[in-house]
A and B are shown apart, each in its own frame.
Chain A
Amino acid sequence: MSVSRFLARRLLHSIFVLLGLSIVIFIIARIMPGDPARMAVGARAPQWVVDRLREQMHLNSPLPVQYFYWLRDALRGDFGMSLVTQRSVTNDIKEFLPASLELVFFAAVLAAVGGIGLGVISARYKDTWIDNVVRIFSYTGVVMPSFVFAIIFVLLFGWMLNWFPVIGRLSEQTAAPPLVTGLMTVDSLIAGRPDAFVDALRHLILPALALAMGSMAQEARITRSSMADNLNKDYIASARALGIPERDVMGRFLLKPSLIPTVSILGLDIAAMLSIAFLVELIFNWPGIARYGMSAMLHKDLNAISAVILVLGVGFILVNIIVDITVARLDPRIRMRAARSE
């Protein structure tokens, strides 16, 4: 079996999917009523300006040709100008994407650690009150949308208890660290500024938690049920019969195979976080790509919309590839099946 061939097939498939996605985005951008050239220059510009721009934007060519030009530019990283910010969309995305990545990354860590931790505790103390508390928590997490969590967190921890700030990425009195990665916490560490790091972290906690709650709940549920299922399997009984210490049975024999469904779902959840971030960023005034994309959508800023969807689509596909590789590492059966189907 070869991991590289598995990976190669996966990548090829992803490229195909991305191409398809680009066609879908292009169609969405073109079904929009109204003349993109007219929208770009504004209602008061004279007709000859619009005509020249139409020529420049290849809007008079047939659709497949237009698509070709659009794709060529997109591959070069050129998505045109944003109608709202009046800057190149690529620059906008470079500016706003890191904030979202930081948020999603932090939320993913919270979801993974919290979800698996709670699931393991729940399975370990199955059918006790601890288990019941965790199960009620995870049901709440599943039925409550992230924006409801966000609002409750703002109200509870932001205003009533006043534990955490609820707006933006840094307090006003904290000077921003020099821009290196765009991740505020990492940049503060690079600049050797513990005060900024703590401040950035405090801003990060509530939005990340609101984003992570649903996924954390689901992870806890899945880890619990998959551990409970595997607990009844023969190989656990035989491991115990061999006198292997209970801690090793739990930690090595039970946990690893039980994490396979958790990891697959976690991947889907992280990918979904990219989109749920749209609402969370809105509530916490988080200057990320979702908030940028949202304002683009409300202003019908087509170039920005296309770019945001494409960037998020790439992110989604990347996360899925990483998940597939992780799952294949955890589960030898999948690797073997992939090798056999060659």
Chain B
Amino acid sequence: MSATSGGIAALSEEFAALAARGAEHVVAVEGGGGWPTSGILWRPGVIVTAAEALGTDAGIRVSGARFEQVPATLVGRDPSIDVAVLRAETEGEDAATPAPPAELRAGALVMALGREHGGPVAGLGSVALAGPAWQSMRGGTIDRLIRLDLSLGRRAEGGAVFDMRGRLVGMAVFGPRRRVLAIPASTIEQGVAQVLAHGRVVRGYLGAALQAVRLEAEQGGLLVVGLDRGGPASQAGLLVGDAIVTWNDRPLLRVREVMHLLGRESVGTAAALGLVRGGAALRLEVVIGERPAA
């Protein structure tokens, strides 16, 4: 064996050691519904996993480095950031140290860790893109767009992504077109705090079904195609057929923008809506309600 192969062997052992340390923070999540996935021990007794992949609300069991098949209960989900929060009687572990979001750069190596029955599952890759904050399809704000060049197994979804210093970058999930994304630890922490405090995620509610339309040549807006009778929009006097063109004087072009405007902070606030009704301009104020509990 030459000297260079010794260097590679040492590097390999470093990766394995990193995986072993990181695996302390990762659990396998199984339930009666979907396929088994992974989760992250977020705080003592609190586990975070991918909401999209969690097929069931009951009969969930988690297994970690030091425990097997412990029953877990679902506290709540935040679909806007793909986070589900579970409680389980797991032994107190220190939460993984989060990686500072600002330090994340394209090209940096990362390791994704999940867990299956046989033990930890590791995938090595790099940060493909470390972009700015973005809005998810469900109107959530995710602190950084972290796209990974990494092969993620189905069962590893919901598991942890670590940097080479063993710090937690975030939770591994599948984004649109099966790209692998990491939901940053900071975003997850906000979601966990919300869910633990309120038992669910609070979102604003307008009580209207909308569709993007083009009015005159340059003007776009959102057509009201359905109304929840007695809901905030209906109470404000909106009618089916109204086209909403501005929200607090900012032009409104896409339904996704409204979903973003209906976040937790919007509940109870008033929004001035610029409308076009039957060709005439109109202005109505709506008080955003709270989305009814499921």
Question: Do A and B truly interact?
Answer: no
Residues of B within 8 A of A (CB): none
Q: Which residue numbers of A lie inside 8 Å of B, CB to CB?
A: none
